[in-house]
């Protein structure tokens, strides 16, 4: 029934579009640099509309479905100045030859789609950070772990844990929704904290980070969302390929540390068909800290094999109609010859010693993502349509635990299916007022469970269905004011079957729990305004809401109540208030934001002195700021820095004050210490590029020792550290490039924040010592 309805809608849209096509215009052409060379990944957009695209590797672009009229075409991108060209499409289409000049002071001229409509990054009234293809490539030379890359480059995002887990890697002190091309990777029904590292950088073109609570894609984005945008076949050739081979290891403590990585990419365009295919395989050696000690292997990344296969095929039915299919597989397994030797918290680290593991290999068995997508431009009322169906299937295995009766290993199994209908209709309201309305609906079905490897049920199979219509208004008025406002309504139903709780090693559990149906609605709003007239100061203010479902699986697997209906599992609604700006002063670019994030009902995960976790349902208040500065001294020298600070408290006595004696700070699983980064990019000669990145993480200590003399999980005092990474490349020929990246260049023996705030002997592990990645890439 659903498929027939969607087909009918598609036929209607095609009918209207065919009627309108003869009246529509196209602008196409090529973008070249000062040397006459084609420039790829340059954004080309019509100001005052939602129409835009990027140039391919041949520098060519095409924008179709334009209503007759006079427009301003904006052309720009990372490393190039902005070009504005007035074009007259009143009588006919046009073809242009455009030239852009190199100018490193152009980082903000990037078109993003995180709000489901095309926008200029420094003109949207929200905090949006884009990790472009060049930055992604630069940081991938140091580490191919996407969790590490994000931690090093995104202000406001917590640091990584040097493990498969992303516990504590919050965005602005709250949950972050991870997506691949808009497909949710997070498992909210049973949060396993394995959603950040679910794809290889080889398959990613760019990463969009929307900061602050948002409901644009639904559940889970209390602190924002991170969307991995997969590669596009940006080429006009029938066939092109890139092969890369790398060796990895530790230069100062090399024994058993050597590993390797190989990637292969194919892409091309044959008439109306285009494609891109990538594959990546990586095997890491033993990981050691700055003292040469083997890092404890529990949930570690040493002696791990990782696989990624990606394919995207598109077919242009006409200039206004396109269908596209995408598939990505990611898997990662650890097979370590070491076992953990527990250290002493805050004194000696836990390390690895030779030994045999109980159970099967840890790691993500598979993460399948697939999407079928249709896009139509200039349909009825000049409307653009994006219609997609997707699926995600995820399975991961955790380590052996003695907390179960007779021991065991848990897994998380999650399967999602979804449909999205997204439409965008532009409009004009008299002289100087232009805008668009983005509207549609999302449907998702999420089935998640947490069984043990041997088949015992820890969390039963939970079934969530979510239907959400939405609408977003964008208006440009008085030329320099951009206004946005939106609403989304989520109708959520969760079904949990009757089940018997698992018996623990202490004999607890074994209770029969009566399942049932959970139904709730979430009404979320957003509104924002940005002023764009003056380059030296483009301020914005915004208010946005997001919501997240409490970790139902954690709640029901250990709940004392015997009926689901008695459990306090209402969703969390978060309010984000923010003011920020972008500024440019000649060679200096600045941006910053201050935010306040509140929720009347929290979901803070806390542990007592026995290590038993519970969920704290009390009001929360988080506030902080972020700042970024880039100084483009010349085409050969760029320096920059960023800083982020946040703090949060919970109102335990629920009296609307967060400073009473009864109130507490949010623990380390939520609030990261202050983070400051600084970098310098050097290009001594045309063929050589060098980048040094420094990361400083500060102290955070708000909690006292418990009655046992230790710290509850999440409350250990965090100590500061700094680390320096090197990334370099040398272009031997037009086709061959060599690269060298070194993580922890100074071979520091340091601890990441998670090692401290966990407050546990077994998790007190050092970070990696100096580790290199040396490789070569060949385009053929």
For residue 474, what is the domain's CATH number? 2.40.170.20
Average pLDDT over residues 343-358: 96
pLDDT at position 511 = 86
**Structure confidence at residue 122 (pLDDT):** 74
Q: Is the distance from CB of 193 to CB of 161 less than 8 angstroms? A: no
Q: What is the mean pLDDT of residues 49-67?
A: 77
Give residue-wise pLDDT tens across range 485-537. Answer: 999 999 999 999 999 999 988 888 888 888 889 888 999 999 999 999 998 99
User: Would 305 be classed as within a structural domain?
Assistant: yes
d(CA 303, CA 287): 8
- Residue 111's pLDDT is 60
Q: Rounded to an integer, what distance in angstroms lies between the CA atom of residue 617 and that of residue 604?
A: 7
Does residue 371 form part of some domain?
yes
Domain boundary, last residue among 72, 88, 103:
103
What tens digit of pLDDT does each residue of 597-656 get? 999 988 787 777 766 777 788 999 999 999 999 999 988 999 999 999 999 999 999 998
* 732-753 tens-digit pLDDT: 998 999 999 999 999 999 999 9
Domain count, the chain: 2
Looking at residue 544, its pLDDT comes to 97
541 pairs with which residues across the strands?
529, 579
What DSSP state is assigned to residue 717? P
Do 243 and 98 belong together in one domain?
no
Cα–Cα nearest to 646, from 723, 576, 722, 548? 576
**CA distance linking residue 75 with residue 85, whole number of Å:** 8
- CATH of residue 55: 2.60.40.1120
Cα–Cα dist 705/662, whole Å: 17
**Tokens read off for 612:** 């038993």
Give the Cα separation of 494 and 521 in Å (integer): 12
Least confident of 157-171, 348-362, 612-626, 711-725: 612-626
pLDDT, position 48: 59
pLDDT tens sequence across 77-111: 766 767 878 898 988 889 999 988 765 444 445 56
Indicate if the pLDDT at residue 15 is higher than 50: no
Q: Which are the contacts of 136, defined by CB distance < 8 A and separation ≥ 6?
A: 149, 201, 204, 206, 207
Which pLDDT value is given to residue 767? 97
Q: Please determine, for residue 114, whether its predicted confidence score (pLDDT) is greater than 70.
A: no
Residues 235 and 365 in one domain: yes
Q: What is the pLDDT of residue 65?
A: 73
Token pair 């290590």: residue: 611
Same-domain check for residues 94 and 228: no
Which residue reads 């202490």 in tokens?
A: 506
DSSP secondary structure of 443-457: EEEEEEEEEBTTS-E
* Residue that is written with structure tokens 């890359």 in the block: 149
**Vertex 461 angle, CA 456 and 463, to 5°:** 175
pLDDT over threshold 60, residue 1: no
Mean pLDDT of the region 18-38: 75
Write down which residue in 55, 73, 103 finishes a domain: 103
Whether 264 is covered by a domain: the verdict is: yes
Q: What range does the domain containing 75 cover?
A: 1-103
pTM score of the predicted model: 0.89
Integer distance in angstroms from the first to the last C-alpha of the chain?
47
State the Cα–Cα distance between residues 760 and 350, nearest whole angstrom.
Answer: 10
- Per-residue model confidence as pLDDT tens digits over 535-565: 899 999 999 999 998 888 988 887 777 777 7
Specify whether 568 is located in the same domain as 434. yes
Residues 6 or more apart whose CB falls under 8 angstroms from that of 16 comprise 379, 380
Judge whether 40 lies within some domain: yes
Residue 450 belongs to some domain of the structure: yes
How far apart are the C-alpha atoms of 245 and 775, rounded to whole Å?
5
Q: Does residue 607 fall inside a structural domain?
A: yes
- Confidence at residue 718, expressed as pLDDT on a 0 to 100 scale: 98
Q: Among residues 103, 119, 153, which one ends one of the domains?
A: 103
Residue 103: per-residue pLDDT = 59
Cβ-proximal residues to 107 (8 Å cutoff; 6+ apart), any chain: 78, 589, 630
In a domain, 37, yes or no: yes
Judge whether 386 lies within some domain.
yes
């Amino acid at each position: 029934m659903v498929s027939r309805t969607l087909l009918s809608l598609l036929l209607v849209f095609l009918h209207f579009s065919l009627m309108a096509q003869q009246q529509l215009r196209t602008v196409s052409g090529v973008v070249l640099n000062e040397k006459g060379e084609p420039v790829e990944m340059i954004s080309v957009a019509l100001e005052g509309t939602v129409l835009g695209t990027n140039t391919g590797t041949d520098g060519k672009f095409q924008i179709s479905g334009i209503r007759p009229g006079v427009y301003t075409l904006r052309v720009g991108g990372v490393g190039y100045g902005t070009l504005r060209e007035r074009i007259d499409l009143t009588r006919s289409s046009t073809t242009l030859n455009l030239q852009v000049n190199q100018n490193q002071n152009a980082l903000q001229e990037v078109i993003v789609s995180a709000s489901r409509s095309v926008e200029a990054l420094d003109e949207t009234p929200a905090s949006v950070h884009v990790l472009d293809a060049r930055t992604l490539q630069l940081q991938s030379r140091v580490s191919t772990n996407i969790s590490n890359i994000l931690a090093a480059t995104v202000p406001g995002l917590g640091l990584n844990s040097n493990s498969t887990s992303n516990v504590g890697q919050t965005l602005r002190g709250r949950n972050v929704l991870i997506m691949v091309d808009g497909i949710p990777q997070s498992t909210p029904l049973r949060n396993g904290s394995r959603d950040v590292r679910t794809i290889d950088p080889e398959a990613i073109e760019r990463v969009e980070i929307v900061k602050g609570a948002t409901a644009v894609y639904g559940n889970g984005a209390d602190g924002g969302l991170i969307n991995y945008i997969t590669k596009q076949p940006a080429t006009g050739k029938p066939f092109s390929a890139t092969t890369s081979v790398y060796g990895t290891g530790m230069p100062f403590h090399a024994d058993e540390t050597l590993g390797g990585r190989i990637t292969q990419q194919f892409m091309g365009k044959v008439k109306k068909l285009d494609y891109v295919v990538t594959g990546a395989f990586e095997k890491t050696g033993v990981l050691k800290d700055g003292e040469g000690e083997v890092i404890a292997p529990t949930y570690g990344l040493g002696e791990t094999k990782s696989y990624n296969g990606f394919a995207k095929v598109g077919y242009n039915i006409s200039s206004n109609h396109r269908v596209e299919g995408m598939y990505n597989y990611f898997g990662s397994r650890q097979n370590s010859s070491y076992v953990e030797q527990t250290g002493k918290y805050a004194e000696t680290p836990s390390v690895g010693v030779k030994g045999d593991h109980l159970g099967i290999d840890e790691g993500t068995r598979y993460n399948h993502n697939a999407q079928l997508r249709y896009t139509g431009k200039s349909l009825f009322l000049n409307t653009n349509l994006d219609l997609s169906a997707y699926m995600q299937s995820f399975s991961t295995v955790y380590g052996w635990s003695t907390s179960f009766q007779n021991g065991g290993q848990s897994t998380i199994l999650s399967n999602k299916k979804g449909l999205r209908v997204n439409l965008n209709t532009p409009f004009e309201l008299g002289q100087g007022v232009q805008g668009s309305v983005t509207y549609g609906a999302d449907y998702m079905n999420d089935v998640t469970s947490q069984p043990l490897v041997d088949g015992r049920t820890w969390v039963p199979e939970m079934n969530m269905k979510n239907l959400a219509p939405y609408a977003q208004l964008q208006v440009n008025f008085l030329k320099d004011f951009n206004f946005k406002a939106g609403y989304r309504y989520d109708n959520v139903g969760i079904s949990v079957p009757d089940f018997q709780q698992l018996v623990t090693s202490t004999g607890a559990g074994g209770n029969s729990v009566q399942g049932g149906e959970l139904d709730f609605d979430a009404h979320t709003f957003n509104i924002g305004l940005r002023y764009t007239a003056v380059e030296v100061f483009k301020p914005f203010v915004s208010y946005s809401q997001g919501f997240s479902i409490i970790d139902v699986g954690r709640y029901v697997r250990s709940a004392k109540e015997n009926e689901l209906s008695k459990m306090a599992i209402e969703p969390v609604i978060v309010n984000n208030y923010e003011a920020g700006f972008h500024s440019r002063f000649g060679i200096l670019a600045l941006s910053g934001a201050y935010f306040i994030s509140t929720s009347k009902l929290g979901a803070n995960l806390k542990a007592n002195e026995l290590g038993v976790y519970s969920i704290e349902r009390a009001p929360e208040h988080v506030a902080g700021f972020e700042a970024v500065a880039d100084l483009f001294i010349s085409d050969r020298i760029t320096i920059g820095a960023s800083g982020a600070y946040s703090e949060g408290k919970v109102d335990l006595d629920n009296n609307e004050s967060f400073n009473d004696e009864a109130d507490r700070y949010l623990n380390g699983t939520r609030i990261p210490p202050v983070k400051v980064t600084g970098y310098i990019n050097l290009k001594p000669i045309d063929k050589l590029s060098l980048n040094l990145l420094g990361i400083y993480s500060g102290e955070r200590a708000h909690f006292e020792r418990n009655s046992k003399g230790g710290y509850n999980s999440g409350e250990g005092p965090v100590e500061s550290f700094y680390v320096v990474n090197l990334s370099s490349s040398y272009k031997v020929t037009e086709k061959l490039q060599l690269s060298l990246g070194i993580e922890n260049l100074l071979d520091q023996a340091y601890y990441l924040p998670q090692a401290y705030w966990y407050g546990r002997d077994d998790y007190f592990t050092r970070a990696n010592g100096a580790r290199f990645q040396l490789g070569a890439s060949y385009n053929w």
